[in-house]
Amino acid sequence: MADRRKYVIPGDIVTSGPFRPEQNVILEGNNIIATAVGISEIYEDSVKVIPLTGKYLPKINDLVIGKVVSHTSLSWELDINSCYVGFLPAMDVFGRDFSTHADELSSKLKTGDLVAARIANFDRTRDPLITISDRDLGKIDDGVLVKISTSKVPRLIGKKGSMIQMIEIGTNAAITIGQNGWVVVSCETPEGLSKAKKAIEMVNEKAHIANLTDLIKDMLDVKDES
């Protein structure tokens, strides 16, 4: 789709003309200016910049991995690797008949627990609202947390999930990727676990290399034989 890609830094003029500015660009007069370090992409009627650095900014419907930092009598607070804390109401976990007297929040989620969650609502006036009432969501019982840069999450997933599928098949591990750059890896064998971890860290470091998929494939295959 993208007919023109360019490396840009803040202030660079991506293009000029009648384009719709999307993420990380602003319209200044007739020029479209990048606001982040990244790769610009010009589509038929819109322009955007894919950032290479920066913190995670919650987006509605994103799957994230959160870590419980504290709870009140009504809700949990989750660290979601962002500038805002995730807000998980108790009613979401206990159901509508939740009562502050009968239910103890720490019986379900304790401080330090990892949670796969979805951003239910977020606007600039409030902290992001989080939900775990969906299939595949909820407390993560086992696995290792690997932290990668937010901007490299799409690379780890790959085109239509190709990269992550390959790592999963190559190591027999189950991998959950949060859009916030936190990844949980669980595997029955310790070798598979360490290999999957290594592969994820490699994607994080070498995200810019063109034939990374082959590189990872080689790494996983070679290790299999030895």
Partner 1 sequence: MGGRDATMVLLDKNGIRCDGRKIDEPRKIMIRAGGLKNADGSAYIEFGDNKILVGVFGPRDVHPKHMSNTDTGILRVRYHMEPFSVDERKRPAPSRREIEISKVIKEALEPAVMLEKFPRTAVDVFIEVLQADGGTRCAALTAASVALADAGIPMRDMVAAIASGKVADTIILDVNNEEDQAGQADMPIGYMPSLKKITLLQLDGVLTPEEYKKCVDVGVKGCEIVYELQKKALHDKYFGNRDD
Chain residues binding partner 1 by CB under 8 A are 7, 9-13, 24, 26, 28, 33, 35-37, 51-55, 57, 83-84, 124-125, 151, 208, 210
Contact assessment for residue 49 and residue 27, using Cβ atoms and an 8 Å cutoff: no
Nearest distance, CB of residue 54 and partner 1, angstroms: 2
Shorter beta-carbon distance to partner 1: residue 10 or 95: 10
Shorter beta-carbon distance to partner 1: residue 36 or 114: 36
Contact assessment for residue 50 and residue 38, using Cβ atoms and an 8 Å cutoff: yes
Nearest distance, CB of residue 7 and partner 1, angstroms: 5
Nearest distance, CB of residue 1 and partner 1, angstroms: 19
Helix (H) or strand (E) holding 213: helix 212-225
Among 58, 57, 53, 56, CA closest to 8: 53
d(Cα 131, Cα 92) in Å, to the nearest integer? 6
Nearest distance, CB of residue 188 and partner 1, angstroms: 33
Pairs from 184-192 (Cβ < 8 Å, separation ≥ 24): 184/65, 184/114, 184/116, 184/140, 184/143, 184/144, 184/145, 184/146, 185/143, 185/144, 185/146, 186/140, 186/142, 186/143, 186/144
Residue 169: CB partners within 8 Å, gap ≥ 6? none
Shorter beta-carbon distance to partner 1: residue 33 or 175: 33
Nearest distance, CB of residue 8 and partner 1, angstroms: 10
Nearest distance, CB of residue 180 and partner 1, angstroms: 14
Shorter beta-carbon distance to partner 1: residue 91 or 207: 207
Shorter beta-carbon distance to partner 1: residue 56 or 143: 56
**Longest alpha-carbon distance in the chain:** 62
Shorter beta-carbon distance to partner 1: residue 76 or 122: 122
